Structure 1
Amino acid sequence: MKFGMFMMPVNDHRRDTHTVLKEDVEIAVECDRLGFDEFWIGEHYTTLSEPVSCPFMFLANLIARTENIKLCTGVVNLPQRHPAQVAAHAALLDHLSDGRLVMGVSPGGLVSDFEMFGVTDLQVRREMASECIDTVLKLWSTHPPYDISGKYWNIRLDEHFYPDLGVGELVKPYQQPHPPLVASAMSPNSGSVHTAAIKGWGVISANFVPAATIKTHWDGFSASCKEVGRIPEPADWRVARTIFVAPDDGAAKDYAVSPDGPFAHYYGYLVELIKRAQFHAIMKASPDMPDDAVTAEYACENFIIAGSPDSVAEQILALREEIGPFGTILMTAADLQGAAHKPKLMASMELMAGDVMPKLRAALGSEAAA
């Protein structure tokens, strides 16, 4: 099993943006030092809580600061970008990082971004996302002259194609045929997992939905893989979960649900945002759960894995038994809030890397041997 960090980020919007961005970079660098396999960063334009408008730029800043960790977009919101920009920026980052890029993609997730870019219709966003990534793949796999016609973008380049000068050619990625592609999934029986399966991509399941929902992601992914003759591999499935590790089991669980802790802020923001977007059904434990029962307290009680290293390892193994054999577990980053929570959150990362993951790998190694 591999492990990583998923960062939206969810910072306190009242804090200084420059400071929180520095802290977000610090978390990423620490992940690399501790041996995390992957670091994921989101893309949002119009929220001070999630102030990373370009994951490519954020990850480029990490190349010289890190050595081994995979640099992952979580995710590129395709309807908000021209396909040629996505193709060129991703290829450049892939080269500069010596092939450490993993590219997560989606139709987007922030309602204020949709409004600003004029893509408020869900079906339109899905169509745009599909057309965008198909165009990106064509640009990566073919050479000019280009004449790619679509519903939302038309790319033509032949009049000023000068092969003797190298003009008109887009840079191809370092990884061939292209960096690994991953689709995000939140809803029960998400259509994203079907798309990922038939296109040869991976899947990443969100951390703010019930385990029963995540189980549908593996079930759907497996079924769709089999339809196209693909073997569903655990290595292609990443599951994000809010995880807090501390030496004492009881203290860890108390901290995880504390109204003054970082996770209460994290889920308080997400619950309120998702409710205002009329999308909070994805967080419900059952369809008949009342809307007013979807609260930060409910989320902290149900979506956080917290405890001692032994307890956290057991909970992750139990989750894997319940939902399916994911190959990568992703912690989710919370706001360090300056000095308020930094020591505990950084110590949690260290325990995850140094204690929990060896236990998981030993347990799963024994399982494979048996």
Structure 2
Amino acid sequence: MKFGIMNLFPVSDGASDHQVLRETLDEIELADELGFDSVWLAEHHFSKYGILGSPVSFAMAVAERTRSITIGTAVLVLPLHDPLRLAEDIAALDVLSGGRVSIGVGRGYQPSEFAGFGIPLEESKIRYKETLDVLRLALSQENFSYHGEVLHYDDITTYPRPFTEGGPPILQGTVSPDSFRERGAAGEPIITSPNFTPLGVMQKNFALYRTAMQENGFDVASYDLPFMQQVWCGDGEDGLREAAQAALNYYRSVGKVIPGSEQAMERERAYYEAVAKNIELLTLEQTLTHGGNFGSAQQVIETIEMLRDQLGINHYIGWLRIPSLDRKAALKSMEEFADKVIPHFRAQEQVAPAAEAVAG
């Protein structure tokens, strides 16, 4: 089991943009020292919901400040990017970090971001597909040409070439059953963050992914299966409820940036209307029980073990720096997680090979 941390880069009341960027860099350096395996950086634009517009640029600073932690994006909004420039930047990061890069990508959903860049939201699907196609080609091929509906390139080679042969792994943000099935059939890595999704639904989705992989000759055991959720690890009812309230505040902020009925594409309108309604009705108690992983170290461990056993995940990404949660409380939670949760799973991993050796 690998363990990571997630960073959204929100600006809460009383904080400054500069403070958020510098403090987050310090927190990532601490995570590296504490033994976390990965850090994940979100891309957002034009609002204080998240102020990091260029995760790959920020990741350059992370690479210089850290020694072993893998640097991931969660996620790059591909329709907003020039794929060639993005490939060049990712390859440079891969070189400077010594191959410590994982690239999470997604289609995006915030109307203000697409409007700000002058890109119609209804073009997001085709732009996502073609940008992903070109990004893969640029990172894996010495020379390529590509002709799609939107993007056209002839005789292109990007530099620098990546440190990692074939380029860093690219993981696609995945939500719908069809996406789980399609990406499993193609052997494509995924990254998920299914807060409030019932366990039974998650089990079906992950089963679709694994079955499709197996049916098409892919070795499921060789894949990273990252799973992300909000986390608070500690003791005391006050701290627990403070963390859950911060998570609830975050979920309500999501309701302000998702497409409204007038903005959503027709095929997605019902989905976003349901999301907005669910957010509006969300309570603190529901957030505590279904909105993340909140509790003592033992409770957090039990939830992760359940997710591992029921879904087959092997890379748990804790959103420990919950937006609006007091920074000292978040750092204490991170240290508690590193001190008690990670060692528990590391010990299990050491016992398993020893048991196999004895049995052999």
What is the match of residue 354 of structure 1?
A: 339
Q: How does 1:1-370 map to 2 (within 5 A)?
A: 1-12=1-12, 15-122=15-122, 124-144=123-143, 146-157=144-155, 170-187=159-176, 189-191=177-179, 193-212=180-199, 213-233=201-221, 235-246=223-234, 248=235, 250-257=237-244, 259=245, 262-274=246-258, 276=260, 279-280=271-272, 292-294=280-282, 298-322=286-310, 324-334=311-321, 341-363=326-348, 369=355
Partner deviation per Cα, 1:285-343 (whole Å, 9 max, x = no partner): xxxx8674245663344112122211211122123334x11001111143576xx7122
Where 1:40 maps in the other structure, the secondary structure is strand
Structure 1 residue runs of 4 or more that deviate by more than 4 Å after TM superposition: 275-284, 289-292, 363-370
- Tell me which amino acid in the other structure corresponds to 1:268: R
Query: Take 2:222 and 2:307, find their aligned partners in 1: how far apart are those partners?
Result: 14
Indicate conservation of the 8 Å contact 2:141/2:166, yes or no.
Answer: no
Query: Take 2:287 and 2:258, find their aligned partners in 1: how far apart are those partners?
Result: 12
Partner deviation per Cα, 1:78-121 (whole Å, 9 max, x = no partner): 11112211211111110011111111111123221122234444
Query: Take 1:157 and 1:312, find their aligned partners in 2: how far apart are those partners?
Result: 51
Q: CA deviation at 1:153?
A: 1.0
- Tell me which amino acid in the other structure corresponds to 2:211: A
Where 1:45 maps in the other structure, the secondary structure is coil
Q: CA deviation at 1:283?
A: 5.5
Q: CA deviation at 1:205?
A: 1.0
- Tell me which amino acid in the other structure corresponds to 1:320: R
Partner deviation per Cα, 1:193-234 (whole Å, 9 max, x = no partner): 344334433211115342434334312211221232112237
Query: Take 2:272 and 2:308, find their aligned partners in 1: how far apart are those partners?
Result: 25
Cα distance, 1:336–1:133 mapped onto 2, change above 3 Å:
closer
- Give the superposed CA RMSD: 2.9
Where 1:36 maps in the other structure, the secondary structure is coil
Query: Kindly, what percent of the aligned residue pairs are identical?
Result: 23
Unmatched tracts of structure 1, length 5 or more: 159-167
Q: How many residues align?
A: 346
- Tell me which amino acid in the other structure corresponds to 2:172: A
